[in-house]
Amino acid sequence: MDRQLSKFAFCKPKSYRSDVIATAQASGCVLQFWNALLVGDGVTLIRIMDDEEFSFLVDSVYDTGNIEEWKSFRFNYRGLRLWSLSYEQELTTPLHITACRGFADCLRLLLQRGADVELAPGGGSTALHEACESCQPECAKLLLSHGANANAVSEDGLMPLHVCTLPESLECARQLLQYGAAIMGRSVDEEDTPLHVAARHGLPEHVDLYLRYGAAVDRRNEEELTPLGAACAHPHEAHELTRYHRVCQLLLAAGARVGPLDRDKRTPLHMACKQANADVVELLLANGAGVNDMDYGGEAPMHNILKVACYKTAHQPERVVQSLLNYGSIRVWPGALPVVLKHCCGSPRTVEVLLNAYSRLKVTDAWVEAVPLEVLKDHRDFYESLFSLARTPRSLQHLARCRVRVYLEGRLLRVVPKLPLPTLIQNYLLLNFTGFVH
């Protein structure tokens, strides 16, 4: 029993006789109570809590820190805390355990027996934070209905709405707002509003909810990011691209501006290009984003996509380059194309779109040397068509395309779809992919 009890420590903020602790340890009630919390065993919880001698366990605090560091301990009879040698303690309570695990029935039993809903051991999170972070709406509602503070701030400076970071936490967010959560509440360090958090994590339903509750769409955080900027700046996994696109649609429909700059003078378009989210890039450009805006480093959005193209092939970076060029992006200085080829060769479609924006190319041995043998082997047909341009001029068809694009610069996407031309030719003018250059 002693070996098992050493797996956790226990304390009670109110004072009571030390012989009660000794009795609890001897009988194993503390351990039984702990195990019942972990598995949601309400029957055992009732049996122990209804014993007056052990009713204090309702608000007990468990230290679940590193077991290896608990090589010695002592009782402090003022607080009856079991001290560990570890400086940082991982403290939790019965409410925290049941709330984060979704044991609503057990949570209800604890609350009915007077458990403190605001207890936050060590200045940490409340049980409400735990319920929301673990996406347990029934537990969140129970805590709120028993007086939990919907705007409690954790030691990390976060309110419960700030920890609703998963799609499954939507109902928790809804409950919090119904119980008076501050829609414009800010996190202490980052100064994020709940809308920033929802946008950053690509949560369109949360964003829609917060906007309906009056969230300010262009409020800036500590990094000078608006929610739109936060959505565009956060890494987008390939399976999340649609979610982030929907978030940006909602924010723009609510009046978000596409031009706000962060501390480094980056626009949302710079950030969306870095994340290679083609749909978001197209959306921002269609809403007036500056395709050639420069950041503090003197880089335009085109620079950002070319830097990541070979790492984000699953994101279809070629579509980002295509959109930027069709909206009038500056092109790479021809002398730097071998360097760009070296960085982007793993995405031949990106290379194709970029090079088809030039009427003439001076292909040299440096181009051949820029493409590793393994990449050449995987995309031989494309690179053979490219390297053949060292001996062959661009086709008349391509030269005609370049001439039309120059003539329609700045109007391409408005004019080309209206031209009485077959769809195939329209797509050709807009730099659609063919798998080779000619």
Query: DSSP class of residue 152?
Result: -
pLDDT digits (tens, 9 = 90+) for 168-203: 999 999 999 999 999 999 999 999 999 999 999 999
CA neighbor of 276 nearest in space, from 299, 304, 249, 246: 304
CA-CA distance, 120 to 128, in Å (whole number)?
10
Looking at per-residue pLDDT, the higher value among 262 and 78 belongs to: 262
Distances (CA, A) of 213 to 178, 185, 257, 390: 10, 13, 20, 61
Q: Per mean pLDDT, which range of 20-24, 256-260, 406-410 is the poorest?
A: 20-24
- Give the mean pLDDT of the chain: 87
Q: Per mean pLDDT, which range of 76-85, 292-301, 369-378 is the poorest?
A: 76-85
* Residue bearing tokens 């607080």: 79
pLDDT digits (tens, 9 = 90+) for 31-64: 788 788 888 888 888 888 887 777 778 887 877 6
pLDDT digits (tens, 9 = 90+) for 212-252: 999 999 999 999 999 999 999 999 999 999 999 999 999 99
Helix (H, G, I), strand (E, B) or coil at 75: strand
CA-CA distance, 315 to 145, in Å (whole number)?
45
Q: Residue 123: pLDDT band by 50, 70, 90 thresholds?
A: low
Q: Would you say residue 88 has pLDDT above 70? A: no
User: What is the model's pLDDT at position 54?
Assistant: 73
Q: Would you say residue 28 has pLDDT above 80? A: no
Residue 240: how many CB atoms within 10 A of its CB? Answer: 16
User: What is the model's pLDDT at position 300?
Assistant: 96
Q: Would you say residue 283 has pLDDT above 70? A: yes
* CA distance from start to end of the chain: 79
Q: Residue 89: pLDDT band by 50, 70, 90 thresholds?
A: very low
Q: Would you say residue 25 has pLDDT above 70? A: no
